[in-house]
Homo-oligomer: A and B are copies of this chain.
Amino acid sequence: MNDVVDSGVKPGFCIRCGASVKLAIPKGDNRLRRICIDCDFIHYENPKNVVGCLLEWQGKVLLCKRAIEPRYGFWTLPAGFMENQESTIEGAAREAYEEATAQSDDLRLFSVYNLPHISQVYMMFYGTLKDGFARANEETLAVDLFHQSDIPWSELAFPVVTDTLTRYFETNEQNKKGVYCADILSRPGEPLQIVRHRD
């Protein structure tokens, strides 16, 4: 019943005809939706996917220092909102290029994180940083390659980044990569609250 909280903006008008919208439960539905009072168009809102990747080169992992809010100045794995008409893997590769001028090889799905409190799903891939090349651009203050022992754990931007890196190094040690699923319930800067799904 509260699926309209998360849009970031209160949609007050119909995208189709410009009339006002009301909050109501459509026939055959069980949730409040924004419905046009004039043309009856229903404005469904759904979770957004964030796709990203962990790229490795000679035992080091690529991180980017964010040049944009939220979490300006913190380190992150390249990731961003998936676009229409692309696949998750294409989106992850695109984000690596947009945020770190990095090309990726052999991307495979590594983790799926639900962030229900902000209606997002993260899908993180792992692969190889092509030619070991990356360069900062307008979305990043810096890019760098980090050995496991040098990861700036206290300066990571998001719980998803912390957990993806943690899990990646664990699975390296175990020499066992599957797809890992979890719910993350905490916000950046808060103590990590995570519910790991069964393997």
Contact = CB atoms under 8 A, between A and B. Distances in A.
Contact of A16 (B2, B13, B123): B13
Chain A interface residue number, banded: 35 or more
Interface string A1-29: 01111100111111111111000000010
Given A47-B84, A85-B116, A116-B86, A15 B6 contact: no
Contacts of A88: 112, 114, 121, 181
Contact of A3 (B18, B45, B46, B85): B85
Given A82-B46, A84-B119, A90-B116, A106 B198 contact: yes
A82 B15 contact: no
A60 interface: no
Interface of A: 2-6, 9-20, 28, 31, 41, 43-49, 81-90, 106, 108-109, 112, 114, 116-117, 119, 121, 123, 138, 178-179, 181, 183, 197-199
Given A12-B18, A13-B14, A87 B109 contact: no
B13 A45 contact: no
